[in-house]
Amino acid sequence: MNSNAARTEQPMKHNGNRVTVKDFIILAKPGIIISNSLAALGGFWIAWLQSERTGEGPGIFAAMTIAMIGTALVMASSTVFNNFFDRGMDAKMARTRTRASVTGKIPPPVMILYGACLGACGFIMLASLHVLTAVLGLLAFLLYAVVYTLWFKRQSVWAHLSAAFRGRLRP
């Protein structure tokens, strides 16, 4: 290894600030993940109670845990891609202009890799339960990361209505 390369190699930095685990957590928008996970948990619980084949013992709780973690990972992936696609818009707003995705603290290639890894892990977990579960996870990912982020938000004022339902509008 070249000694000059070893000397110049540094941890990923932007303006002297190191990228932290907290930056990656914030990039995945934990508030969205938690609120939607509660809804997913409620749906899983109701489906289990109404099922004719209600599971007994630890199997149902293992399936529920895998479903919840897989769903959270797919949601995290979609929010990371949302941050990636919205960098330009976020740079214009006071509330979002200091995000790590906007400032370059987390470079775009790292964001893409991070989002792809989260999504791959989530889809694998969901597919281990049932292929349809993974397909529905993929559909939800595409609806948020592509349809909402790349089209709806940019083309329609109605995107504010969906943001209001998520409690994201601020005066």
Helix axes 30-50, 58-85, angle to 10 degrees: 150
H-helix or E-strand spanning residue 13: strand 13-14
Cα distances (angstroms) measured from residue 93 to each of 8, 84, 87, 130, 161: 35, 15, 10, 41, 19
Mean pLDDT by 10 residues, the chain (171 residues): 41 62 94 92 84 68 92 96 92 88 93 97 96 95 91 74 54 43
pLDDT of amino acid 59: 79
Q: Determine the 3-state secondary structure of 55 from DSSP.
A: coil
What's residue 56's pLDDT? 63
Taking alpha carbons only, the member of 121, 1, 105 closest to residue 66 is 121
Give CA 5 to chain center in angstroms.
35
Instruction: Look at residue 1 in the predicted model and tell me its pLDDT.
Output: 44
Question: What is the structure's pLDDT at 2?
Answer: 46
Walk me through the domains of the chain, giving residue ranges and CATH numbers.
16-49+56-165 (1.10.357.140)
Torsion (CA) 44, 48, 53, 58 in degrees, nearest 10: 90
Q: What is the pLDDT of residue 3?
A: 45
Judge contact between 27 and 77, C-beta under 8 A.
Answer: no
Q: What is the pLDDT of residue 165?
A: 56
